[in-house]
């Protein structure tokens, strides 16, 4: 038995999770590798092969690394759990006129829970992943996420949903490293191909990046049901026909198939009437938003009016805001206008580099 403990490492076959496993192995942990199959892309009718974490080459790469370094490796099929929750939520959100964040939903409700369940079954003290973020324990006893040191790779935004029982047993070894250092480690471990491997940024079950095609394949007769809706301006004037409200997102400018001689953006989606509102860039500005399904991390709640830096999308730099308790969650008021607030996306609240908590955006509005 290792004095450091036994850790179950999620291994996708990519560079980050492989280096995570090898690093922990070198540090003296008793490592067990596990690769989760979340999705069978061949069943979705897409035009590309499986990519990223769900193809046989990735499974083999993960297993090979484990064998070469002398620790066990398992493959875990969670397609049913994943499909029932993540994919149904993805479809339902678009049909409700919102823009979902399936990676957050997967981390929060599927991957970490599946890992912890198997960790307990295998007698593991910890679970570990290759995310670029850090886990700390506050002097109040709570565990919390903070940003990874590599700002270009920081993934704290997608981990806001992790609850205390998960965080207390999570190791994130890459949070204190830059990506360049991880690539060098892969080379040093003797994996030059892994070091050169390109990264996938697509949603794992939509690897061709065509979410509209995915929705059409997933929901029988969708095009016929939603075709013939109208574009309107902020005064309600009809501007033209569109292809159906689920195929548009807040802030979208390209692919509208309508021209005005100037850039126009999707500013609102009204599913009840199959209406898509268009406007100029300034029409995307909002002073406040309502956020629900809150998960507090660093503290067990907030004081009304607490200041925080709020991120409304993954690559957002964040905006200064105040947080106010609300019967349906948290009312966020921005110091300056926030642009392109999209219901369904995650709002994550930061105190410096630390994640206070997060939730799902319900609506954005002018003050």
From residue 142, alpha-carbon distances to 77, 163, 205 in Å are 32, 10, 34
122, 169 in Cβ contact below 8 A? Answer: no
Q: Is 185 annotated as a binding residue?
A: no
Burial class (CB in 10 A: 0-12, 13-18, 19+), 181: middle
306 is in an annotated binding site: no
CA–CA separation, 260 vs 41, rounded Å? Answer: 39
Pairwise CA distance, residues 229 & 123, whole Å: 55
Angle, helices 15-26/56-68, rounded to nearest 10 degrees: 20
Category of 317 on φ-ψ map: left (φ > 0), alpha (ψ -120 to 50) or beta: alpha
For β-strands 354-365 and 346-351, DSSP reports them as antiparallel
Cβ neighbours of 365 (radius 10 Å): 11
The reply to whether 83 sits in an annotated binding site is no
Residue 97 known to bind ligand: no
Would you say 114 and 76 are in contact if contact means Cβ atoms under 8 Å apart? Answer: yes
Encoded tokens for 178: 């830059």
Rounded Cα distance, 109 and 107, in Å: 6
13 appears as a binding residue in the annotation = yes
Is 289 annotated as a binding-site member?
no
The one catalytic residue among 53, 54, 124, 204: 204
Tell me the two tokens of residue 138. 């506050």
Annotated binding-site residue? 121:
no
Kindly give the residue spans of alpha helices, DSSP state H, lying in the chain: 15-26, 56-68, 79-82, 88-95, 102-106, 112-121, 164-167, 179-188, 192-196, 211-218, 222-226
What contacts 269, CB < 8 A, 6 or more positions away? 97, 98, 245, 248, 249, 250, 275, 276, 277
- The question of whether 106 is a catalytic residue gets the answer yes
Has 335 been labeled as part of a binding site?
A: no
C-alpha gyration radius of the chain: 22
- Consult the annotation and say whether 130 binds a ligand: yes
Q: Which one of 53, 54, 103, 106 is the catalytic residue?
A: 106
Does the active-site annotation cover 124?
Answer: no
Q: Is position 16 annotated in a ligand binding site?
A: yes
Report d(CA 171, CA 114) in Å as an integer.
16
| Residues involved in catalysis | 106, 204
Binding region for ATP: 10-17, 36, 130
Binding region: 10-17, 36, 130
């Amino acid at each position: 038995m290792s004095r450091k403990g036994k850790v179950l490492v999620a291994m996708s076959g990519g560079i980050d999770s492989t280096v995570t496993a090898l690093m922990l192995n070198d540090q003296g942990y008793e490592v067990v590798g596990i690769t989760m199959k979340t999705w069978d892309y061949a069943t979705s009718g897409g035009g590309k092969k499986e990519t990223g974490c769900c193809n046989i080459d990735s499974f083999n790469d993960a297993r090979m690394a484990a064998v070469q370094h002398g620790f066990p490796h398992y493959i875990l099929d969670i397609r049913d759990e994943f499909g029932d929750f993540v994919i149904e939520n993805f479809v339902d959100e678009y049909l409700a006129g919102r823009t979902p964040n399936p990676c957050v939903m997967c981390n929060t409700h599927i991957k970490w829970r599946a890992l912890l369940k198997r960790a307990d079954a295998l007698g593991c003290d910890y679970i570990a992943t290759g995310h670029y973020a850090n886990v700390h324990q506050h002097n109040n006893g709570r565990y919390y996420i903070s940003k990874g040191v590599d700002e270009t790779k920081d993934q704290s935004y997608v981990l806001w949903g992790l609850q205390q029982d998960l965080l207390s047993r999570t190791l994130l070894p890459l949070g204190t490293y830059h990506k360049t250092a991880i690539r060098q480690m892969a080379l040093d471990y003797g994996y030059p191909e892994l070091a050169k491997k390109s990264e996938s940024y697509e949603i794992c079950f939509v690897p061709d990046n065509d979410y509209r095609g995915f929705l059409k394949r997933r929901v029988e007769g969708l095009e016929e049901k939603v075709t013939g809706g109208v574009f309107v301006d902020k005064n309600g004037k009809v501007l033209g026909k569109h292809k159906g409200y689920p195929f548009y997102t807040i802030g979208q400018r390209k692919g509208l198939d309508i021209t005005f001689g100037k850039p126009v953006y999707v500013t609102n989606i009204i599913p009840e009437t199959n209406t898509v509102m268009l406007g100029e860039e300034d029409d995307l500005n909002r002073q406040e938003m309502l956020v629900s399904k809150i998960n507090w991390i660093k503290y067990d709640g907030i004081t009304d009016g607490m200041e925080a830096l709020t991120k409304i999308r993954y690559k957002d730099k964040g905006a200064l805001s105040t947080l106010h308790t609300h019967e349906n969650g948290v009312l966020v008021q921005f110091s300056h206008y926030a642009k392109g607030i999209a219901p369904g996306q995650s709002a994550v609240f930061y105190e410096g580099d630390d994640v206070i908590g997060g939730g799902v955006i319900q609506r954005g509005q002018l003050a």
